Every structure is written in structure tokens, then in C-alpha cells.
């Protein structure tokens, strides 16, 4: 079957997977991956950053970029980050941005510029994710959307505050900060809003990640037939939020109950888990401890 000239092809609806065991199996299946974003020539733009980070790469390129991020994170002291997040959060007018502020300083921003770096990342982060569908090839060229323009300015400011590192390192640092920004802020916000009563902050964060995950879905594409018979070429939406409340795995799943076994899938699994889990938890713990005192 051929399409009519100038007609817009309507993409197939993604397959939604929400059972815990099925989501976990597909996360572990290398047949499911993230479509690679093309890398344009270097410029201080969000379009360049998307094409230069590991999150939107595949295969050996993803592995190499992920290893670079893991190497940077391995040099960070979780206890020091947690203590600094605690110190900065006390009386802070916007405690949700404290984690990215502390992380920016740990990655090379001067301490006195931490708040400016956090604001730059906050401008960059909303435009960091690529569009769910590519633009029409027949669309007229337009100027950058306002969110991309703000993101470009945020990236330029962040680069300056980091000392204008060479592009490969800038991509690693800016990518880590952009990915940490909204997710960690939402984790802090959701944990503070929970009616948990007295409990260890570690238990509070683990149950918040299960019950109200900051990242609720993950999108993947099957490059060949995947687990469960998912055909090649299928877009799969992994409903992490629903999987985290699967009654076949979690007793009384809709009840917020700190102290459960932390089997949630919020940080992913398989070949593409979040590389910054321990750092995100340390930063969020420091902030939540400070605010709950």
C-alpha cells in the first residue's frame, strides 16, 4: 500500500505495558531501545545537547557516553552531597531546586554561583527531552520555539558557570544536571506532601518513588522482536507508575506505606537504568530531612 502525495502518515499508537513483571522484562530486553537523536555540529543549543548525551543514543555510542557519566558520578561523595543539601535547604525559598544547585557545585560550578546554575538548568530542563514525534518534513522552517530559546540561553549560562568545558565534558555535565532537575525536584515535592508520619527518610523516599514516581512512563522502540512477542518497529510505552502499583507484586498497592521492600521500577532496570540513583537519593534525603525538622 502506498500513501497519497502530501498526506501525513498517521503513526501507530504505542503499545502500553503496565504489569510489573512485563515492564521489568522489557526494560531488561536489549531489543527495546531509545531511538538515537542525530548529533548536529557543536553549538550551545539544546538541539546539540540532545544529540550529544547518552540518554538519547543507542548501541556502542550509548555505552561510551553512559560510561563517561558513570565515571563523573563515581567521583562524588554521597555523604558530603547529602550534608550540603541539608545545609542549603534550611530556609531556602525554593528547596526543590537545592539538589541541582548542590550537584552543579559538585560538578565544578563555584559555590557562590550555585543558585545561578540551578536557574540555568531549570530553564534548560523542560526542553531537554526530544519531541515525541518528529516534525513534518514539509513544514515551513520556523524560529526556535520560546522554550528552546530559553533552554539555549540556559545552556550557554551553564557552560560559562562550568568554565566552558570542552564539548564532550559539557554534554556529560549538562546532561546529568538536566536529567536530575525536574525528577529530583518532584521526588522532594512528593515526599514532603506525603502523609507518612514519623519514619526514616530512606523509607519515605523509597515509598514515594513507588507510590508517586517523578518519572511515570518510559518510551522505547523495538529494534527486533522483543519479550512477550512485541514486534520489531513497535513503540512501547512502559507504564512505570502502574507497574509500581501492580497488586500481583505489592500488597495493598494504593496505600502509602513506608518500609516496603524497595522493588519499584522508577530508576529503570536492564541496560539503561538511571546512572545517578545513589546521588539523587542522597540529595533528596538531605533536602527532605532539612524541611521535615
Q: With a cut of 80, say whether residue 108 has pLDDT above it.
A: yes
Average pLDDT, the chain: 89
The whole-angstrom separation of Cα 256 and Cα 194 is: 8
- If you average pLDDT over residues 199-223, what whole number do you get? 94
Q: Which CATH architecture is the domain 15-132+145-292 placed in?
A: Orthogonal Bundle (1.10)
Per-residue pLDDT, 12: 67
Q: Among 118, 142, 135, 125, which Cα is nearest to 53's?
A: 125
- Confidence bin at 232 (pLDDT 50/70/90): very high
Q: With a cut of 90, say whether residue 206 has pLDDT above it.
A: yes
Per-residue pLDDT, 94: 77
Q: With a cut of 90, say whether residue 290 has pLDDT above it.
A: yes
Higher pLDDT, 254 or 136: 254
What residues does each domain of the chain span? 15-132+145-292
Q: With a cut of 90, say whether residue 156 has pLDDT above it.
A: yes
- pTM for this entry: 0.87
Residues contacting 130, CB < 8 A, separation 6+ = 37, 50, 56
The whole-angstrom separation of Cα 187 and Cα 204 is: 10
Q: Are 81 and 103 in contact (CB under 8 A)?
A: yes
Q: Are 183 and 280 in contact (CB under 8 A)?
A: yes
Per-residue pLDDT, 147: 66
Amino acid at each position: 500500500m502506498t500513501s497519497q502525495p502530501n498526506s501525513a502518515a498517521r503513526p501507530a499508537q504505542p503499545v502500553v505495558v503496565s504489569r510489573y513483571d512485563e515492564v521489568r522484562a522489557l526494560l531488561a530486553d536489549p531489543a527495546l531501545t531509545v531511538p538515537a537523536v542525530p548529533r548536529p555540529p557543536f553549538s550551545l543549543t539544546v538541539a546539540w545537547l540532545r544529540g550529544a548525551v547518552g540518554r538519547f543514543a543507542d548501541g556502542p555510542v550509548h555505552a561510551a557516553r553512559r560510561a563517561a557519566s558513570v565515571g563523573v558520578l563515581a567521583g562524588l561523595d554521597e555523604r558530603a552531597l547529602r550534608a550540603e543539601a541539608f545545609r542549603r535547604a534550611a530556609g531556602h525559598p525554593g528547596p526543590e531546586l537545592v539538589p541541582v544547585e548542590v550537584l552543579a557545585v559538585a560538578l565544578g560550578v563555584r559555590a557562590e554561583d550555585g543558585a545561578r546554575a540551578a536557574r540555568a538548568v531549570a530553564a534548560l530542563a523542560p526542553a531537554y527531552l526530544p519531541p515525541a514525534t518528529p516534525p513534518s518534513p514539509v513544514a515551513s522552517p520556523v524560529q526556535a520555539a520560546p522554550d528552546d530559546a530559553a533552554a539555549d540561553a540556559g545552556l550557554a549560562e551553564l557552560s560559562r558557570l562550568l568554565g566552558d568545558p570542552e564539548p564532550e565534558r559539557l554534554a556529560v555535565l549538562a546532561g546529568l544536571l538536566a536529567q536530575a532537575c525536574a525528577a529530583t525536584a518532584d521526588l522532594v515535592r512528593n515526599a514532603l506532601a506525603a502523609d507518612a508520619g514519623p519514619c526514616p527518610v530512606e523509607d519515605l523516599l523509597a515509598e514515594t518513588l513507588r507510590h508517586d514516581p517523578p518519572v511515570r512512563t518510559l518510551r522505547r522502540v523495538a529494534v527486533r522482536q522483543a519479550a512477550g512477542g512485541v514486534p520489531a518497529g513497535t513503540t512501547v510505552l512502559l507504564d512505570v507508575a502502574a507497574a509500581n502499583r501492580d497488586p500481583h507484586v505489592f500488597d495493598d498497592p494504593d496505600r502509602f506505606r513506608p518500609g516496603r521492600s524497595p522493588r519499584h521500577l522508577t530508576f529503570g532496570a536492564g541496560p539503561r537504568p538511571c546512572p545517578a540513583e545513589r546521588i539523587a537519593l542522597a540529595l533528596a534525603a538531605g533536602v527532605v530531612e532539612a524541611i521535615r525538622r
